[in-house]
């Protein structure tokens, strides 16, 4: 790998050596629109929990503005990945799947944890099913790559994504937008900001997003399929000034989505020999990729349906005490989900069943953080805080049509409750050693408690009957803790060049699988010896890593060009991997520790403002993410194999041209991205699905009369209509990526 990187690394080093002042890692559309002739614009971020210029923030990060989202027609987080270096955001059947620098997790159940934290206005959103909602009245999205174990806590071994919405301002303003596109797409959004006196400001935002299914039904039934959407979302915010030194920001939000959860096709749509466990990619048109032709021999599929609802109330309190500022951030959130879906369930190469599943569940979470940060311009700046998180879930999975392997008509997982509790204390300080050199040290101590009480039941009917049915308990509890830390330094080579280096650690809590330990009583549930499992099977250990990173952010050519460089190396221990497997004749979803993994890479990106009307963006990532010690079954070694969604290199280029004529302004832009091939692994089946190299092109065209309050934007995404699977599971179900999308949007602002 070192040999292969020799020339790109030297090139990146040469670019960094020639660079002058720093710039942001990801140029936003707002900056494109507002860039003046004197160069690129700065971006203010809160990646380190206090405001700073992105160009002076010692973290590899990307920033996307709300204007960029609207210009590209992006409505959900899953649609953003192709604009982010070394990031995959996949809209899986069970929620948003985040992969950063090859680090991911596939346990989306209520007992699992992601490897990257997803936050909404600083509030951690625990469940992947609740992360891929409408992006409503967004100011910006900050994507932090690499472990964020000090300031953001557990479950940030891969990084963190923070969606930051607009807060009320002391200005009367309004905005509205309507959009139409293919797949019968219809969208509308609106915002109203009203100052109420000198102390109070209110802001309301609403959005509606509907489109038909991307999938075609080739099963011989009249049913519609999934990857459709019927979303509605609203948020009301109020900012109250409490004297001259304190303020309170309150947010209340809610959203619903009615959809079809049958969002998958067979892996045979992409791979030959998938049934035999030796999948080989083959070419096919998009229409074939998106057609579900699986016809189960054991059941007639039903019409799938799904309904989700989410709501939340949050508060941010800020009090300037003079030498320091006190911050409080807290929220209560609730997420409900009900659906019926039709699964593809490959039991063996010669036997693939159709399975209908009903699900009903509710998740509630509360989080509170109290933090204090120093003010002033002295040599020492510091912040410290306390954090508390509590999650409670109850759910019921019911599978039908599995009589061929479990000999009962119904197979269910009732759980009430699953709980997770996390507490942490953290602090970070930065000392200005000289006018140019700063040193940073941070630490966090976290304790996590998880517990679940439920069962695996074998039933003759949809409702459990103790007289005729059997139940095997699922009962476990675990407590883990970890100290994570960060040491770093950053230095202004010149007024225009910023370099940094850091060593950091990350941690993801341990957990448990289905089952119980025979002869024990856990959470008041007795576990008979005959159904018990071993502790080594039931529990898995925390995931930890140590990260080494160095980078440079620079501006040059009279502030008309930028370059951002990051090199990194991770050492992972006990990487957590999840998948379905048959254990003692029973289908179970299990997580195991993958032993040791290594991740190293390089990221280079930036912007060139060639003329006041011509702008180029570029990006290059190199990545080597592989297992160094891992045996999925205790016999076969996967040492040297790639981690999931870890292409060895990705190249991206963008160009935007502005043309003015007769009091009109046109902006045309194109973004191209080529990714090397990568793999999606199913360790429980000893299979890796290899996706070949693929290119993707997006384009947009915007028109606005000079000085007008409205504009029209046309966009197209995935113009080549190249479709790869977002996910593939151990039962042969694959979720296709988004097809070619295009639309036209009209925006008005006051």
Inside any domain, residue 69: yes
Tell me the H-state helices in 310-453: 403-406
Structure tokens at 24: 């942001």
Cis peptide before 678 (omega within 30 of 0): no
pLDDT score for 189: 96
Residues 342, 348, 353: CA angle, nearest 5 degrees:
25
C-alpha distances (whole Å) from 594 to each of 105, 631, 639, 681 are: 12, 7, 10, 12
pLDDT score for 155: 87
pLDDT score for 19: 36
pLDDT score for 8: 37
Inside any domain, residue 328: yes
Number of domains the chain contains:
1
Structure tokens at 253: 């939000």
Residues 545, 546, 552: CA angle, nearest 5 degrees:
130
Structure tokens at 745: 């949007």
**Nearest CA-CA partner of 341 in 302, 308, 307, 395:** 302
Structure tokens at 109: 């159940």
Q: Residue 45: in which H helix or E strand, if any?
A: strand 44-45
pLDDT score for 647: 96
Inside any domain, residue 132: yes
> Could you give the maximum distance between any two Cα atoms of the chain, in Å?
84
d(CA 88, CA 621): 13
Residue 556: alpha-carbon gap to chain centroid:
33
pLDDT score for 730: 86
Residues in a beta bridge with 550: 501, 567
Inside any domain, residue 1: no
523: CATH: 2.40.170.20
- Express each pLDDT in 540-561 by its tens digit: 999 899 999 999 999 999 889 9
192 lies in which domain range? 6-749
What are the φ/ψ torsions at residue 658 (nearest 5 degrees)? -110, 130
Inside any domain, residue 552: yes
CB 24 within 8 A of CB 63: yes
d(CA 292, CA 354): 13
What are the φ/ψ torsions at residue 170 (nearest 5 degrees)? -90, 50
Inside any domain, residue 398: yes
The pLDDT averaged over each successive group of 10 residues in the chain (750 residues) is 36 35 34 49 88 91 89 86 87 86 84 90 92 91 92 89 95 96 96 95 97 95 94 97 96 96 95 91 95 93 96 97 96 96 88 92 97 93 96 94 81 93 97 96 96 93 91 94 96 93 94 92 91 90 94 92 96 82 67 88 95 95 94 88 95 96 94 96 90 96 94 95 92 93 95
C-alpha distances (whole Å) from 563 to each of 479, 523, 671 are: 44, 55, 18
Q: Taking the model in full, what pTM does it have?
A: 0.91
Inside any domain, residue 353: yes
| DSSP 8-state code for residue 685 | G
C-alpha distances (whole Å) from 496 to each of 17, 23, 27, 605, 745 are: 12, 9, 17, 17, 39
């Amino acid at each position: 790998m070192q040999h292969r990187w020799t020339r790109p690394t030297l090139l990146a080093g040469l670019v960094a050596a020639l660079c002058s002042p720093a710039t942001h890692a990801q140029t936003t559309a707002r900056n494109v629109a507002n860039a003046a002739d004197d160069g690129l614009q700065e971006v203010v971020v809160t990646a380190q929990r206090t405001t700073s210029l992105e160009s002076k923030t010692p973290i590899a990060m990307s920033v996307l503005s709300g204007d960029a989202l609207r210009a590209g027609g992006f409505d959900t987080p899953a649609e953003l990945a192709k604009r982010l270096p070394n990031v995959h955001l996949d809209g899986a059947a069970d929620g948003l799947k985040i992969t950063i620098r090859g680090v991911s997790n596939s346990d989306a159940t209520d007992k699992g944890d992601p490897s990257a934290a997803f936050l909404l206005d600083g509030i951690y959103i625990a469940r992947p099913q609740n992360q891929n909602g409408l992006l409503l009245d967004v100011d910006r999205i900050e994507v932090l790559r690499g472990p964020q174990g000090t300031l953001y806590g557990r479950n940030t071994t891969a990084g963190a994504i923070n969606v930051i919405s607009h807060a009320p301002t002391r200005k009367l303003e309004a905005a509205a937008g309507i959009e139409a596109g293919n797949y019968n797409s219809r969208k509308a959004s609106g915002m109203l900001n009203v100052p109420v006196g000198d102390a109070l400001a209110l802001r309301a935002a609403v959005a509606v997003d509907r489109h038909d299914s991307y999938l075609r039904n080739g099963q011989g039934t009249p049913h519609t399929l999934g990857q459709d959407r019927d979303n509605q979302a609203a948020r009301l915010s109020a900012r109250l000034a409490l004297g001259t030194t304190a303020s309170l920001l309150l947010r209340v939000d809610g959203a619903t989505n009615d959809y079809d959860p049958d969002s998958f096709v067979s892996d045979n749509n992409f791979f030959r020999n998938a049934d035999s466990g030796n999948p080989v990619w083959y070419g096919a048109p998009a229409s074939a990729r998106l057609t579900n032709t699986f016809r189960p021999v054991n059941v007639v599929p039903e019409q799938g349906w799904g309904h989700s609802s989410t709501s939340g109330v949050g508060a941010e309190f800020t009090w300037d005490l003079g030498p320091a500022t006190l911050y409080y951030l807290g929220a209560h959130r609730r997420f409900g989900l009900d659906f019926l879906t039709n699964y593809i369930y490959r039991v063996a190469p010669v036997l693939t069943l159709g399975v209908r599943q009903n699900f009903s569940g509710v998740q509630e979470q509360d989080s509170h953080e109290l933090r204090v940060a120093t003010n002033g311009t002295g040599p020492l700046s510091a912040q410290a805080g306390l954090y508390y998180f509590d999650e409670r879930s109850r759910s019921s999975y019911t599978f039908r049509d599995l009589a061929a392997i479990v000999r009962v008509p119904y197979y269910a997982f009732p759980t009430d409750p699953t709980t997770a509790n996390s507490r942490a204390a953290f602090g970070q300080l930065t000392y200005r050693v000289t006018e140019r050199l700063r040193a940073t040290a941070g630490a966090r101590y976290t304790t996590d408690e998880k517990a679940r009480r439920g069962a695996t039941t074998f039933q003759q009917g949809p409702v459990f009957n103790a007289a005729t049915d059997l139940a095997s308990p699922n009962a476990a509890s675990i407590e883990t803790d970890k100290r994570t830390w960060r040491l770093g330094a950053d230095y202004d080579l010149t007024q225009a060049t910023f370099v940094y280096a850091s060593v950091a650690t990350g941690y993801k809590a341990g957990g448990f699988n289905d089952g119980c330990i025979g002869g024990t009583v856990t959470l008041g549930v007795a576990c008979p010896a005959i159904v018990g499992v071993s502790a080594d099977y039931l529990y898995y250990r925390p995931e930890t890593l140590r990260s080494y990173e160095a980078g440079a952010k620079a501006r040059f050519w009279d502030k008309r060009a930028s370059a951002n460089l990051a090199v990194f190396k991770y050492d992972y221990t006990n990487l957590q991997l999840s998948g379905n497997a048959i254990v003692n004749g029973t289908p179970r979803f299990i997580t195991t520790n993958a032993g040791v993994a290594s991740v190293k890479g390089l990221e280079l990106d930036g912007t060139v403002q060639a003329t006041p009307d011509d702008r180029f963006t570029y990006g290059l990532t190199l990545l080597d993410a592989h297992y160094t010690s891992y045996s999925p079954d205790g016999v076969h070694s996967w040492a040297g194999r790639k981690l999931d969604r870890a292409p060895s290199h990705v190249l991206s280029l963008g160009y935007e041209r502005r043309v003015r004529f007769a009091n009109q302004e046109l902006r045309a832009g194109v973004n191209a991205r080529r990714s090397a091939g990568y793999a999606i692994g199913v360790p429980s089946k000893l299979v890796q699905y290899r996706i070949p190299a693929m290119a993707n092109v997006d384009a947009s065209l915007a028109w606005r009369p000079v000085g007008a309050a409205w504009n029209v934007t046309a966009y197209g995404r995935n113009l080549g209509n190249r479709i790869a699977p977002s996910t593939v599971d151990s039962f042969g179900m694959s979720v296709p990526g988004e097809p070619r999308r295009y639309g036209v949007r009209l925006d008005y602002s006051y």
